[in-house]
Structure 1
Amino acid sequence: MHLDHTHERPGQAAVSADAVRPDGTRRALRIGLGGPVGSGKTATVAALCRALRDQLSIAVVTNDIYTREDAEFLLRNAVLPPERIQAVETGACPHTAIRDDISANLEAVEDLEDAVGPLDLILVESGGDNLTATFSKGLVDAQIFVIDVAGGDDIPRKGGPGVTTADLLVVNKTDLAPYVGSDLQRMARDAKEQRGELPVLFTSLTGEDGVRPVAGWVRDRLRAWTAG
């Protein structure tokens, strides 16, 4: 347990967590995944683990309010060995544990590095939240925000910090667009208007290579992280 990192407090600028371990080696890259309930965050985490686990040393922290549901989903699907998955029960709004009081999540990621490290990548999944959900920079190094077409094709236009500021926006379940009346081109235009040059990826995890673009983005981030 190493909870001595500086992170955001009211009125203070965001400060990134230490990038090195106590022994001086570079710690794992931490990527947070947030998004509304049902958008496909856990399925995205599972798909990323399957796509990357043969090349990278990975661990996962899940957040749920009162249960271990997301962690149990990952365990049932055997995406990683059990010792590489930790669950945090937040007991409050999910954004509290990933942005306001990150101590439980910091303890989880650091315990994973101690127990099964050295790790290349730790994925931190938020509990289902709204469009305001963001991660503390004291907890993660990059953020993915997942929305889905079934939530309505006006979601990118509505904005919110999750949509507008995440390092990567993923628009999931594109295979459902014809059945729910969502216009993917409209979503792409609105996302571009909200995010400028920040990347947007459209995915359908039901496809064989559905997670490939997201996995490629993660690999690019990891290469940049490893290079320092």
Structure 2
Amino acid sequence: MHRDHPVTFPGRHTHGAQAVRPDGRRRALRIGLGGPVGSGKTATVAALCRTLRDEVAIGVVTNDIYTREDADFLLRNAVLPAERITAVETGACPHTAIRDDISANLEAVEELEEAAGPLDLVLVESGGDNLTATFSHGLVDAQVFVIDVAGGDDIPRKGGPGVTTADLLVVNKTDLAPYVGSDLGLMARDAKAQRGGLPVVFTALTRPGGVGPVADWVRGRLAAWRTGGTQ
């Protein structure tokens, strides 16, 4: 259930936030990825899958309002076996399905684990939203928020829950900074000031190994999860 909205979901969903499944096995680590439209969420998911798929068993749940566009992109690029990718059509603002009424996403995650498991990691990608997007802790164990330099170098300074509270902030498309007039040093300083010690990484997914800082962070979360921690 969402910590601010005490709702008990029907039957099979009531164990969603629990680390141990009803059968006694530890479930997959769930990481949510949010961020504005065009920031590179789907590209980040694809790059993470390519980088980590030989190390861990991964599943992906994507969110779009009326389509399966992001899931279809991942399927076309064969980043994972097709049975490990599923889509949720939210029919409303994306943050509703990841924060307020998580039942559709929780069902998709749990059914994916049951059908394609055992899995080590499930990535839940939100539809494109604004700087207020956050995930319910009943749905994911950690949150990544993706912004990009083309959105303006004032984005970290503007803050918002996505920027300030996500477990990892990703500043993407750094290779475009010279062409859009964004100051990466300014973005780094503003992000540090806003986030109170929470990590920030800079990525350029078009370059070899560009997703490396995010993949390393995910590896760290997985290591802690396997030993019973969450950090």
Q: Indicate the residue corresponding to 2:120 in structure 1.
A: 120
Deviation at 1:153, TM superposition (A): 0.1
Deviation at 1:16, TM superposition (A): 7.8
User: Percent of counterpart pairs with the same letter?
Assistant: 82
Q: Indicate the residue corresponding to 1:8 in structure 2.
A: 3
**For residues 158 and 62 of structure 1, do their structure 2 counterparts lie closer, same or farther at Cα, with a shift above 3 Å needed?**
same
- CA–CA separation in structure 1 for the residues paired with 2:5 and 2:124: 23
Pairing of 1:93-172 with structure 2 (within 5 A): 93-172=93-172
Secondary structure in 1 aligned to 2:71?
helix
1:197 pairs with 2:197 = yes
Under a length normalisation based on structure 1, what TM-score does the superposition of the two structures give?
Answer: 0.95
1:41 pairs with 2:41 = yes
8 Å contact 1:8–1:100 — kept in the other structure?
Answer: no
Which runs of structure 1 show a deviation greater than 2 angstroms over 4 or more consecutive aligned residues? 6-12
Deviation at 1:27, TM superposition (A): 0.3
**For residues 143 and 150 of structure 1, do their structure 2 counterparts lie closer, same or farther at Cα, with a shift above 3 Å needed?**
same
- CA–CA separation in structure 2 for the residues paired with 1:11 and 1:90: 21
Deviation at 1:8, TM superposition (A): 3.1
Deviation at 1:22, TM superposition (A): 1.2
What letter is aligned with 2:77?
A: N
Q: Indicate the residue corresponding to 1:207 in structure 2.
A: 207
Secondary structure in 1 aligned to 2:189?
helix
Deviation at 1:11, TM superposition (A): 7.4
Deviation at 1:213, TM superposition (A): 0.8
1:182 pairs with 2:177 = no
8 Å contact 2:30–2:142 — kept in the other structure?
Answer: yes
Secondary structure in 2 aligned to 1:63?
strand
- CA–CA separation in structure 2 for the residues paired with 1:26 and 1:11: 24
Q: Indicate the residue corresponding to 1:3 in structure 2.
A: none
What letter is aligned with 1:223?
A: A
- CA–CA separation in structure 1 for the residues paired with 2:36 and 2:79: 22
Q: Indicate the residue corresponding to 1:92 in structure 2.
A: 92
Under a length normalisation based on structure 2, what TM-score does the superposition of the two structures give?
Answer: 0.94
Q: Indicate the residue corresponding to 2:11 in structure 1.
A: none
Runs of 5+ consecutive residues of structure 2 not aligned to the other structure: 8-14
Runs of 5+ consecutive residues of structure 1 not aligned to the other structure: 1-5
What letter is aligned with 2:70?
A: D
- CA–CA separation in structure 2 for the residues paired with 1:63 and 1:93: 10
